[in-house]
Structure formats: structure tokens, C-alpha cells
Structure 1
């Protein structure tokens, strides 16, 4: 699956799971279905269709142990030092609700916990954002940072651009469901908070199974989980561009302000006075780079600004 294998710009793991133990199982481990879209726009969303994030119940008369999803963040160096003490003591009384998040697979612990060991890359990166790009993208890192700084990574954010306007409909487990998603062809970013909410949909093959149940690729499935299952608005960025668009229509004067660009065959951006002939620069991104960074060693000395 592309979601699992493509190169990322800012890799991020689904860690910091300690916050999940305070949430009720019914509100995140088994998210409630939301039957319809709301046309009320959030202050962060410019998409034509949004979802209202389901509020976590503030009060619950009584809960049982089954209402708790307990996570323990660990790492490889602690597998044989700290975990044995846990296994020997309090874990035995809550083993069905306890999950371990770590950075390395461990067959012995997986067996001991009945499959409750989840490899996340814990301890190797704690980036506030995770961004997923395709290999036909051109990313402007400084503009990406500037764009993401407009949002609070401690809140659930799903940032990108849909492949088409409006909502699509597909079948999911016998039901007709709406789909509104960010295409990875234009790049997609999620906040750390969002990644935490995605955990139950990503572990133990759940994501792959949802792809199969929906009969859709990874980016569509991700959007389905985010907007339809979790109720997180897609925060639309029109400066994220994919080859699905007519790239020649991106105004020339706005090219340098685009966060993500792309190309496909002859669907390319319109560059005035390109630095290279088309047969040497079919994507037009070499010329674009020289317009943006004319001091680059391999750029012609007479590269002109856009």
C-alpha cells in the first residue's frame, strides 16, 4: 500500500498514546458512525463539505475496565528491562485492555501480549506533523512549514486538497457512504493529534482491511476514516497541487507561492522563458527550480525570474 511505503516529507509515528487511556472506548476505539455531512464550515476549512467532530462525553455515570483503552509507550532498549516488571505485576489485571507501542518488532512480546504489541517508530521521531507526498510532487519546504504553522498540531488536522469538487459515494459494508478526501497526489499532512485519533484504524492490519471493505486506494480510505468515521474536517489547501488538475492554469505569478506542484505527461505548469528545452525538462520542474533558486550549480547562468 502506498500509505505504508511512500517517502514522507516529515515522518511521524502514532505515538504519545498516553492521552488515549483517558478516552472512552466508544468514542475513539470504535468511533460512532455519522450519517450525514454538515454544510457548516469550520474556521479552518474551506472545503464545500465538512464534518463536525464528535464530542467526547464529558461525564459518564460509571465505566468498567472494558471502557478503558490503555497504552504503554516503550522502546526496544526497555523490552528486557522495564517490561518484565510490568508483565509480572499490574499488567496481568488489565491485559485485555493494554497495548504496547514500540519502535521494534518483538515476536516474544507479541506472543505474550496476544498481539498487543504495535510497532510505531516510538522514540525515533516525535514530529508535530506527518506529511505524505507522491513521487511526482515538488515540495517547497519553507512554504510547507509556513502553511502548517497556521494550524495547531495539538488539535486534529487533516490538510490537503481533494482530487475533485463535491462528495463521491461508494459502498462500505453494504452501505452507501460519502467520500471526501485529500488526494496524496497533491500531498497530505496530518497533525500528531490527528494521528492519535487514527490509531484504531491503523493497527493490526485494520487500515488494509478498510481499504478492502471500501474497495478504494489508500488516500481515499484515509479520507473516509478521517471525515466519515472520525468526523474530522478536511482543511483544504489550494496551494497543494496534483497532476489531476490542469496545471497550466496555475497563474504564473502564483507559481512561487505554491506549496506542492506536480506533473504528468504534458500536464505541466506554464513556465515563461524556461531554463531548459522541453525534451530536457518534460516536467518543467527543473526550470521551475531554477526560477526559484537561480544560484543552483546546474542552473543556466541566465535563468530568469518568474
Structure 2
């Protein structure tokens, strides 16, 4: 029997049992219709509206259309996901599936999704899709699976996590139009019932499996995440540039202020880890606690400690950041005392963003996006604010409804109310490295991880968030793809 744990409320999971559904064997491809044309493929780039991300999506679209001009007289449609529908939850994809079915159901055979940094080799992709019967239901991608049951997937399939496969978005993934139409019908009658969107790729695969008679992901070897220049990528239809973004010089250390949230009971356990790892890379930083300890030192913000949420403390940090009591910097980073972060990598990433814009950056989650909800940056992986964003939040009427309200979610509501989209980076992580498939992390240069539970956090830091000189060696030689 397969057991799936489904999210019931924030930080509470209650297991439910799903009925086992035997997957009907699918067409092997030998008799597949092979008259697929480029114009039958809808390319959807999982884009974001912020300039840096939109520019990458535009470059990818231009490259796809340039390749198409040498293959066919009729080019494919290439869409930006953030422009498909004016919907806060469009990035979660399922809400726009009915739109794809209604708008392209009679003229297209495939919807192919990819990320901004995915490289598409168009002829190889066309040849790959030709091997599948476009009149059948297909869910194609590079398969990932959990190596152990994990909190980020609500401990789904706890008896055997590896049995359930879900797509690595970086390699691209595809839905045949018959499956799109079927999902559209289901979605109109049974919208997803989970309040939270945490790991989209897993949640989409689970929804398809549950609602389409056990439709499983079909692994496609040609969908790859090797570096485009790798010899391993020769037969790949897709590849992925997993190098750390860098747009000019890294942000100066003096331009970043780091706020570490802690409390008295963790002073002896957690703060020594921060001091052994990443604190040395910070020029401006303060520890914020419920107790002033001169040996660390910590700053008592006058906010009593609470067991969860910490919204009162976070807003006190935002207010202090704008006062003369802290150095005037362009950027504010708020982390937990059990967050492991590479500030040197973050400085490179921030070179791609304008601090004079309203920037709110990190790992994006969603709440209630099926019913006028909002996106938010999950706090454990680190929340990055431009000074302008902090000022906009505090100038608004958005505030905590209690000291123990979830700070990251309240800030997401604030951003949504201001009409400012949060910016997602998959390089920030709310959980530990072992909570993610190793194949998924192998094409990343991660910026952060969270939680010290059942790990040696110092070892994790020096394994995954290595200092600058080793990082450059690792990234330049693409060593991750050989892990």
C-alpha cells in the first residue's frame, strides 16, 4: 500500500492513504505517429517578470525561433509563463492548463515546458517527441525521485520514496495535448485542494498521478541537465547551464547587512556553527535575540520569544535596518540561526539585480493560489531585500497580526498587496541537502540550506557551500555533473 502524507496546515502533516492504481502500459512508440511538425509544439518558458529573469527568457525564445527558421517555415509558439495569464498563481502551472487546452487544443500536439536556463536543441527535441504517439496521454521528463521520505514532500510514499518519479524542470518536460485536455477537464471540476505550494515539480506529478488514472512520468534520456559544453550532452535534446549567475562584479561586502534571528535557548548550540562557517564572510551583521548577550554579541529587540512565526521580530529588524543604528547598505539578508549560507555566492547572484528596484528574493512558496492567495519567500533559506523594498513594506499599512504570525507569509501578503512579485531562485533551500535528490543538486551551485537536524552542519557547509577559491574550480570545470 502506498502512503502519502498531505499538507493539512502549516508545519503539520497528517498521513492519508491513496488507493493504488495500476498504470496501463503505454504505447512503446513503435507505431507512434511520426508526422509531428514544429508548429504543433507550444514552448512555455517558466519565466518571471523581473528584468534579469525576463531577459534570460527572451534570449531563450530568440534562440528557439532562430533554430526553428532553419528547420521549418512555420515556427512554433513560444510563450512566457508569467504573461500567459494575469494570475498570481500562474507560476504553479496547473491553473493555466485549462487555458492551454482551450486555446491550443485543436492546433497543437505538445506543450513543452522549460526553465530560463534550459538549452533546447530543437531538431533533437523534435526527433525525440516524434517517437511518442501524439494521440496518446504522455507525461515526459527527466525523472527525479526521493532517496528518503522528506518533509518538503510531506513524507509522501514513505514506504518506498523512490517509487514515485517527478520531472526535473531544468531538463524540460512535456505533456501531450490529449493529457492536457484531460487535466483541463479535471481541473475545472476538481481544483488542487492543497493550500500550500512547496515543491512544484513534485506536486504537479502527484496531481497528474492522482487525477489521471495513475499517469506516471515517462523518463526520457534525451532530456538532460548536463552542461551544454559537456561531452555527455552529445545525444541530448536539452541541456542546462547550472553555473552561478554573474552580471559584472560581485556586490561589495560592504553593501550587504545580514540579520540573524536567534533566541537565548539556541545561543550555545547554533551560533557557534554560524561563527565556524559563514560569519567570517559578513562585514555587517547582527544577531537578534530575546536576550542581550555581550559574549556573542546579541541585540535584544524587545520582542518576546515565541515558538514559531517570529513576525514581530522580523518587522523589528526591518525597522532597525532603516534607522541609523545599522550601517547603510543596499541589501538586507534575514536568516535563521540554523541557516547555512554562502555569502560569496550570494554576492555574485546579487550582481544581476538593481538595488534601486523593489527586490524580494529567495525560494518561492505559494499559499492559497487557487483562490486569490499569494506567493512568499520561505524564511529558512534566507530572505533578500533591497533597501527600497524594505522601505515600501514599512511605508504600507501591512503589519503582523501577532508576534508569532509566520513572518515569511505575512511578508508575502505585503508584497502581493503592493503588487510586487517575489523573485524565485532555486539556489536557496528551505531544507537540508539530503532532503533533495542528489541528481537535482548536481547541476546547481547552491546558496543556502536550512536546519541542523540529524546532520553535521559544519561538514554540510564545507561540502556544499564551499569557499570562493574552491567554488570557482568546481563551477568552471563542471564537476557537479560527474557527482
User: What TM-score do you get using the length of structure 2 for normalisation?
Assistant: 0.29
More strand by share: 2
